[in-house]
Amino acid sequence: MEKKLYVGNLPFTTTDDGLKEIFSAAGNVASATIIIDKISKRSKGFGFVEMASEEEAAKAKEMLNGSEVEGRKILVDEARPMKERTFDRNEE
């Protein structure tokens, strides 16, 4: 079963392929996605990686959490489910 990881504090130059390459050292990467700002079209500095198994995800977290990528210490942790967001036009 695939396991999703959150990856934070990434350099803004990191690409999906670059992220996949970094995590492939820990095992099979099912997908790697950098989150892009809709307006500026630039990286937000974080992304998500899906590892092929829970064991590979644990290995990736252990190997890569706190490691340096282009001079920045990255954060690797289990991804949490996205909270449902509601917007009330009267709240400001």
- Provide the residue ranges of all domains of the chain, joining segments of one domain with +: 3-78
Q: What is the pLDDT of residue 83?
A: 80
Q: What is the pLDDT of residue 88?
A: 64
The residue assigned the tokens 């990191």 is 14
Q: What is the pLDDT of residue 81?
A: 85
Residues of the chain scoring pLDDT < 50: none
pTM metric for this prediction? 0.87
The residue assigned the tokens 């690409």 is 15
Class of the domain covering 3-78: alpha beta
Q: What is the pLDDT of residue 45?
A: 97
Alpha-carbon distance of 59 to 23, in angstroms, equals 10
Q: What is the pLDDT of residue 89?
A: 64
Task: Indicate left, alpha or beta for 9 from its phi (over 0: left) and psi (-120 to 50: alpha).
Answer: left
